[in-house]
Copies of this chain bind each other. A is one copy, B any other.
Amino acid sequence: MTGLGATENTMQTPATTQTATTTSKKTRTPTPMNGVDTPTLFATIGAVKAQPELASFQFRATNRWQQGTHSRTRIEGFRGAGGEHEHAREFTYDADHPAVLVGRDQGPTPVEFLLHALAACLTAGIGNIAAARGVTLYEVESTVEGDIDLRGILGISGEVRNGYRQLRVSFKIKGDAPAEKLEEIVAQSRARSAVYDVLTNGVPVEMSVNAG
């Protein structure tokens, strides 16, 4: 989740079109583009401004151990915009360790899903922000790399952290705008990315256990 990024400052140069209404009154209306329903996006932002409690969301996932390092997660419903919602379908994802880490490779490692989350969040924001700024996108690709020293999780060194020590994201973006404007869209997406925020700044995690 990133960039319902059509923030006020992203709207400095909104995509507009001259439309003739049935009353012949000309209005400037945001134009849907890049697959983004820009008018609805702006209307949503307006609604949340008027009623901030709509912005309170809770996302959820449930996971069940399969065997060894293999587990499976279901993602179904979430709360937000004043109510409960179901995704269009139930999403399930497996994770595991690869053979070289003594798993059975029934899915990517959990840390690889962090890379997916980061790329997808930044890219969703790019889609929204480009549409808000009237830029047609031709192509957006990214590669995310994460460096990790497994002596942490292996408990071999107390000085090595468990997680990644560094992530690198490389974007390639093409559209009908100068390079500088495309770069600004990527920068704005980063500035409003939920996953980028969590990964760079961290988040408090509470844990509870029911054992028996």
Binding site for B on A (CB under 8 A): 1-10, 34-37, 40-41, 44-45, 48-49, 52, 55-71, 73, 75, 78, 80-81, 85, 87-88, 91, 93, 95-121, 123-128, 131, 137, 139-157, 160-174, 179-180, 182-183, 186-187, 190, 192-212
Contacts and interface: CB of A to CB of B under 8 A. Distances in A.
Q: Quickly give the copy total for this chain.
A: 2
24 contacts: A1-B111, A4-B153, A36-B68, A44-B101, A45-B156, A52-B157, A55-B154, A71-B120, A73-B115, A75-B115, A88-B98, A91-B107, A110-B120, A114-B198, A146-B203, A153-B192, A161-B197, A166-B203, A168-B208, A171-B209, A171-B210, A173-B209, A196-B205, A200-B202
Contact of A111 (B126, B198, B210): B198
Given A61-B119, A149-B56, A193-B153, A204 B166 contact: yes
B140 A65 contact: yes
Contact of A164 (B3, B106, B198, B208): B198
